[in-house]
Chain A
């Protein structure tokens, strides 16, 4: 395991990690016996990092993200978000969450969908419309605010759901296979847009994916996971520059990282199913 930031993170001068997990465990009790969704997960994510979680089904990548979001409760170890418990961090609106399905409300226009978290959090009407305009611009949907979700393509719907997660200015963006259901071309385009958005907003992003090229293209740090029990098998700090045109995917550096990710996945795979 290569972990460069963690040991010195607490020392003076360095910023403390935004998300910090220490020997995190999560065991689900099912009728077929206990399922070890996460086992001994140690991970520090620094401010402004773009961290991808990659691994086969059941490796715990989504579960880890859900723990950070306080949608699941770990059964062991410690987990802090912005130095707080995940629950407290959620109440402090530390993160926006993007699900695999856009999950827009069909009875609300795109604007009104983005207004949803703002209404719940009690923003004034004026502030709502100011924020809606800003995030719609960020995801390049400014002309679509009055449309209903069914009038938009799948890719546009997912951009709207990203805008919704950005609307209340959380520093952390958690994305659970947001582009998994989209075709290759649309996905490339959204990946480019997401990098641009990340550069503009300097968010810390946790991104779950099945796709090696997507993980390598987007991330500053790639976390390779394996199942039974769900654990981290490799953490790769990407040497790629922040500026990444799509054709960076043909460079030797890119292919080298992709190769290492693939090796990590292969090593962790049990081949028993």
Chain B
């Protein structure tokens, strides 16, 4: 237990260092990314810019524009519609559409990312539950039946080579054909489609992890295969199980967002990203993107905690 805390402390500094480097690179990138926008704004405001016409500037590389107009670089960090917003702008937008709205009691308003995040989370969890159940069932069938192993596994692999973006609209069309109202179910199906595979692969590996001597030992007790499953294979697979769940939930979230993107959905984080793109509001896209990342991080962290608690309670060193 002390080991856990110590290792958390040890990993804190490297993580913060990487984060710091990313933020630095981000801030540095804002200048070249936003220089054109900054010059357009300055031109409209009557300031001197080189070259003066927008069309001529379009021909110039951003580096040249920055060298020629050093006094306008700073303006790129405070644009209303920046091509690349600063971390600070994204943070402000994120707060405006989550915490601030919640404080005003409008957390579930259609403009709140909490509302859209909740819509996305619901589909993700349904998809995750469905995908995990399918993955588990498939893994058990594969481990216990050679026929299933040879017939199902290749299809499971092929299923993941089909681009989900192409499949998503079809799933939505087909599910409305069979009379399923709304986007919740098809989104969960898309999400499950991405989620079952890592669970399947991880659990096959986990259920096969006991050494042959351990299986022989059970044979010397004349144990039934159900006893072998419950007493050996299932507990032995637990570390693999949680690793699979962590990959699975991240995949499920991606699946849901993809399910919201090209399908004309109006709620959910994916829909916010698409709408932000259509209405030319990059800040909204970035805020939705970060909301999705934070949601994924929270879900994975939750599973990680469950893993630690479970394995520790089982007496295995996590």
- The residue among B219, B221, B222, B316 with the most chain A CB atoms within 10 A of its own CB is B221
| Distance A120 CA – B227 CA, assembled complex (angstroms) | 7
Q: Could you tell me if A105 and B213 are in contact, using CB atoms closer than 8 angstroms?
A: no
| Distance A74 CA – B50 CA, assembled complex (angstroms) | 92
Does A106 sit within 8 A of B, measured CB to CB?
yes
Chain A residues with CB under 8 A of B214: 103, 105
Contact count band on A: 20 to 34
Q: Classify the interface of chain A: helix, strand, loop or mixed.
A: loop
Q: Contacts A101-B211, A105-B232, A119-B231 given: A71-B314 contact, CB under 8 Å?
A: no
Chain A residues with CB under 8 A of B177: none
Interface mask (A90-110 → B, CB under 8 Å = 1, otherwise 0): 110101110111010111110
Q: Contacts A101-B211, A116-B231 given: A71-B220 contact, CB under 8 Å?
A: yes
Chain A residues with CB under 8 A of B211: 101, 103
Q: Which of B213, B216, B315, B317 contacts A108 (CB 8 A)?
A: B315
Contact count band on B: 20 to 34
Q: Could you tell me if A97 and B218 are in contact, using CB atoms closer than 8 angstroms?
A: no
| Distance A240 CA – B223 CA, assembled complex (angstroms) | 40
Q: Could you tell me if A107 and B238 are in contact, using CB atoms closer than 8 angstroms?
A: yes
| Distance A96 CA – B223 CA, assembled complex (angstroms) | 14
| Distance A121 CA – B224 CA, assembled complex (angstroms) | 10
Q: Could you tell me if B220 and A90 are in contact, using CB atoms closer than 8 angstroms?
A: yes
Does B32 sit within 8 A of A, measured CB to CB?
no
Q: Which of A103, A106, A116, A119 contacts B213 (CB 8 A)?
A: A103
B-binding residues in A (CB < 8 A): 69, 71, 90-91, 93, 95-97, 99-101, 103, 105-109, 116-117, 119-121, 148, 150
List, sorted by A's number, 27 A–B pairs whose CB atoms are closer than 8 Å: A71-B216, A71-B219, A71-B220, A90-B222, A91-B222, A93-B222, A95-B220, A97-B216, A99-B217, A103-B211, A103-B213, A103-B214, A103-B217, A105-B214, A105-B232, A106-B315, A107-B235, A107-B238, A107-B315, A107-B316, A116-B221, A116-B231, A119-B231, A120-B221, A120-B231, A148-B315, A150-B317
